[in-house]
Amino acid sequence: MTESFRRSGEYENPQGPQGDAYQGAYPQQQHASSPSPVNPEWPPPPAHQPTVDAGQGGHGGGTAVLPTVGTDAEHPAEHSEYSAHAKKKSTRGPIALLAAVAIVAAAVGGGTAYAFQELTGKNDVVSSSTTTSVVPSSKKGDVATIAARVSPSVVEVNATLSNGTSTGSGVIITSNGEIVTNNHVISGAQSIKVTTSNGKSYTATVVGTDSAKDLALLKLQGASGLTAATLGNSDGVQVGDQVVAIGSPEGLTGTVTSGIVSALNRDVTVSTDEGQQQQQGDGSGQWPFSFGGQQFNGDTGSSTTTYKAIQTDASLNPGNSGGALIDASGNIVGINSAMYSASSDSSSSSSDAGSVGLGFAIPINTVKSDLAKLRAGSTS
């Protein structure tokens, strides 16, 4: 909201209901010598002048009483006091209303616990509706502009496992280094290194994980002043919307692809077993998942979880997991989590895999609702 407010004393010509009441009660000086005309259908004014309620307005459906008012000289103190009160009231009203709107807006977005943290200032996650533009409105949908604005908020995640390494992506959600990524990217990691778009590397620690939603929250050590992404509203996403994906497929940091939203609420099933994750992932980033009753990129095992996902045809490859799915305004609407690979053999190298336009992302509203749990250190 970009409304401007005048300070007390700047309302020379009040407008609207309050201004009408004010002018009706206190005409300008040149008319003070004679009473204001009164509608003959209204009753005569009372002997004692009533107090005018500025909130009632001067056109109250034929029920208002217009008092007869003399000159300023007749009631100098009363007129001065009333003027100060009226002007003070007219300036306080909008400010109070603005504060109330701000509280309601914060409470609406993405979960009660998340909204509470926003209001209490415990974090600086930037959240918006789909009407907020990270890119200028004239550049909405321009892939080059979106990439330039959002790429600094996407990182490469390298996890050292007991049997190799795992490469994925992550999204910066706070300027002091909170990173959202997929749980399967860092599961079983002995150490984690994160590289930002400008090439700077950080050691990361796991704050919390949620295997049921395939989400993890990392914290970079010694980080500050990072560019946090703006989290959008995935409930507003529609089939056919243009989207951009940014991540590190095959370790190629900052790779940008684009496409559309192909479908919504797809049931995607992934493994929750740590041993199965390491065995099937094999350090290649080919994460096994199930969709439509079929297995992709390997066997998911017996311990699995299913979540609703956004389907996209934006090109995703091993290493995109945990990266950003972005709408035409530059807001993050999903965390890329699974992609179909041309190779379903887990023993194949990741270089044999490729995107065929079947990618899936965890809706960002799911991430928002899970943040409080992740920040609390959950390791489910």
Residue of 153, 166, 210, 214 marked active site: 214
Residue 141 CA to residue 259 CA, distance in Å, equals: 11
- Residue of 131, 141, 140, 137 lying closest to 109 (CA atoms): 131
Residue of 258, 321, 337, 350 marked active site: 321
How far, rounded to the nearest angstrom, does the alpha carbon of residue 11 sit from its chain's CA centroid?
Answer: 36
Residue 169 CA to residue 185 CA, distance in Å, equals: 8
Q: Do 114 and 107 contact (CB within 8 A), yes or no?
A: no
Residue of 133, 166, 169, 184 marked active site: 184
Residue 335 CA to residue 180 CA, distance in Å, equals: 8
Q: What's the token pair of residue 68?
A: 């007869």
Helices and strands per DSSP (H, E), number in the chain: 7, 16
Ranges of beta strands (E only) in the chain are: 126-127, 154-161, 164-172, 178-181, 191-195, 201-210, 215-220, 230-231, 242-247, 255-271, 289-291, 294-296, 304-312, 324-326, 332-339, 359-363
Asked about 184 being catalytic, the answer comes back as yes
Q: Do 105 and 15 contact (CB within 8 A), yes or no?
A: no
Radius of gyration of the chain (CA): 30
Residue 243 CA to residue 264 CA, distance in Å, equals: 13
Q: Do 180 and 215 contact (CB within 8 A), yes or no?
A: yes
Helical H runs in 111-238? 112-120, 143-150, 183-186
Asked about 267 being catalytic, the answer comes back as no
Q: Which residue pairs from 69-76 have beta carbons closer than 8 angstroms and sit at least 24 positions apart in sequence? A: 69/25, 69/26, 69/27, 69/32, 69/35, 69/36, 70/32, 71/29, 71/32, 71/33, 72/29, 72/32
Tokens 């559309």 sit on residue: 260
Query: In Å, how far are 19, 74, 197 from 174, measured between CA atoms?
Result: 46, 62, 15
Asked about 214 being catalytic, the answer comes back as yes
Positions marked active-site? 184, 214, 321
